Amino acid sequence: VSTTVLISLCCASSAFGLHGRASSALKKTGLLSSAPKPMVQPLDLRGNRISETALLNSEAAELPRGGEAAKSGGIDGGLIAYFALWYLGNYYYNISNKLALNAAGGKTGFPMTISSLQLGIGCIYGIFLWLAPDAREKPKVTTADIIKMLPVSFCFMGAHCASVFAMGMGAVSFAQIVKASEPAFAAVLSQFVYGKKVSTAKWLCLPIVIGGVVLASVKELDFAWSALISACIANMFAAVRGNENKKLMESEGIKDRIGSIGNQFAITSILGFLLSLPVLLIQEGSRLGEFVQMAKTTPALWVNLVSSAFFFYGYNELATMTLKKTGAVTQSVANTAKRVIVIVGVAVVLGESLSPIKLIGCSIGIGGVLLYSVIDSLVKPKKA
Q: Residue 65's CB: how many other CB atoms inside 10 A?
A: 5
Q: How far is CA 344 from the centre of its chain?
A: 18
Q: Pick the more confident residue, 222 or 196.
A: 196
Q: Would you say residue 328 has pLDDT above 80?
A: no
Tell me the helix, strand and coil percentages in the chain, rounded to 5: 75, 0, 25
Q: Which tens digits make up the pLDDT trace of 84-108? A: 888 899 899 999 999 999 999 888 8
Q: What is the pLDDT of residues 335-378, one digit of tens each?
A: 777 778 888 888 888 787 777 887 888 888 888 888 887 888 88
At residue 31 the predicted structure's pLDDT band, cuts being 50, 70 and 90, is very low
Q: Is 96 helix (H, G, I), strand (E, B) or coil?
A: helix
Q: Is the pTM of this model over 0.85?
A: no
Per-residue pLDDT tens over the stretch 121-180: 999 999 999 998 888 899 999 999 999 999 999 999 999 999 999 998 888 888 888 887
- Shortest CA distance to 277 belongs to which of 98, 115, 102? 115
Assign 287 a pLDDT band (cuts: 50, 70, 90): very high
For residue 69, what pLDDT band results from cuts at 50, 70 and 90? very low
Quick one: average pLDDT of 193-205? Answer: 85
Q: In percent, how much of the chain has pLDDT > 90?
A: 32
CA distance 213 to 236: 16
Q: What is the DSSP string of 336-381?
A: HHHHHHHHHHHHHHHT----HHHHHHHHHHHHHHHHHHHHHHHHSP
> CA-based angle 117:123:331, to the nearest 5?
100
Q: Show Cβ contacts of residue 273 under 8 Å, excluding neighbours closer than 6 positions.
A: 116, 119, 120, 122, 123, 157
pLDDT, position 65? 39
Instruction: Determine the 3-state secondary structure of 149 from DSSP.
Output: helix
Give the burial string for 359-380 (b: 16+ CB within 10 Å, else e). Answer: bebbebbbbbbbbbbbbeeeee
Closest CA to 241 of 186, 278, 196: 186
